[in-house]
Amino acid sequence: MKTLLRCCLLWLCLPLLAHAAELRIDLGRGATTWTTAQLLARADASSVAIPDDVAFGHPMRYRAVPLRALLPGLRPDQHLQFVAGDGFAAEIPADAILNHQGAQAWLAIEDPAQPWPTLAENSKGAGPFYLVWTDPKAAHISPEQWPYQLAAIRLLSGVEARFPAIVPQAGANADVRKGFAVFKRTCFACHTMNGAGDAKLGPDLNIPHNPTEYLRADLLRGFIRNPQSLRRWPEAKMQGFPTQEALSDDDLDAVLAYLRYMAKHKAAH
């Protein structure tokens, strides 16, 4: 009887627990915490249609707040990190959020009264907060710049300043430098390099071994496009980059050039 009572109480409290979800925003002037209820009650919260949602793979509609409105004083030369509850850490330059090219960043808020669908690859879902974009192509927003299960937004120095161990040396060729830029935008959200980085979702890509050291180039390309093409694993977390829009062949070749370069520049551990 007591067990049944506890279950009933827990069920009744679930909406309250969902409302208690919090997003922490730290722009270096003291952190601000927003709850689900506070965000849903904002005057600038509106219904936003996303025709091709990255997380769900089909059109979605969200209750969302313009992200810029939550980041007062943000300058184009600054840099933000978006930290998800699963260890994903997206690095996004402020000018992508403040751009005037047509793309707009929105913070989608999951309403406990109208929960979002479950994700095929993640039983925990995309909530309680999710960064979505309208007209993302206008600013070349990549799939890795749509972090869900969002827990915190932090103003930080750029990746190069924080993690010099992942930066190619001055003499690196153009392909390597381009690959580094693509790596920062895509791979670094899940992986570390030379032991450096804040992501906790995937393994390090250079220590102890770089994937170019044990995979043929064609297999590595196939794996990046579709991880299940190399080995089938129902619990695999890597989603891959199946389309040219997500990662062009030129960008993929550049990433491989960067990885081959880094295999010869391992950090001492």
Residue 216 counted as domain residue: yes
- pTM attached to this predicted model: 0.82
- Same domain assignment for residues 128 and 171: no
Residue 217 counted as domain residue: yes
- For the domain that residue 34 is a member of, what is the CATH number? 3.90.420.10
Last residue of a domain, one of 132, 156, 180: 156
Long-range contacts of 51-55 (CB under 8 A, 24+ apart): 53/132, 54/132, 54/143, 54/146, 55/119, 55/126, 55/130, 55/146, 55/148
- Which residue range is the domain that position 219 belongs to? 163-263
Tell me the three state secondary structure of residue 121.
coil
* CA 232 to each of CA 184, 228, 238: distance values in angstroms, whole numbers, following the listed order: 27, 5, 12
Residue 4 counted as domain residue: no
- Same domain assignment for residues 148 and 25: yes
Residue 70 counted as domain residue: yes
- Same domain assignment for residues 54 and 147: yes
* CA 242 to each of CA 3, 131, 209, 230: distance values in angstroms, whole numbers, following the listed order: 47, 21, 25, 14
Number of domains in the chain: 2
Tokens 């930080």 correspond to: 156
What pLDDT shows up at residue 244? 77
What pLDDT shows up at residue 269? 61
- Same domain assignment for residues 149 and 186: no
pLDDT 10s digit of each residue in the chain, 269 long? Answer: 444 444 443 444 444 444 469 999 999 989 999 999 999 999 999 999 999 999 998 999 999 999 999 999 999 999 999 999 988 899 999 999 998 778 999 999 999 999 999 987 666 789 999 999 999 988 888 888 999 999 999 999 999 999 999 999 999 999 999 999 999 988 988 899 999 988 888 899 999 999 999 999 999 998 888 887 777 665 556 777 877 777 899 999 999 999 999 999 998 76
- Same domain assignment for residues 125 and 187: no
- Same domain assignment for residues 46 and 132: yes
Last residue of a domain, one of 100, 131, 156: 156
- Same domain assignment for residues 110 and 142: yes
- Same domain assignment for residues 75 and 202: no
Last residue of a domain, one of 134, 156, 178: 156
What pLDDT shows up at residue 18? 42
- Same domain assignment for residues 142 and 169: no
- For the domain that residue 227 is a member of, what is the CATH number? 2.60.40.420
**Cβ-based neighbours of 152, under 8 Å, separated by 6 or more:** 23, 24, 25, 26, 82, 83
Residue 269 counted as domain residue: no
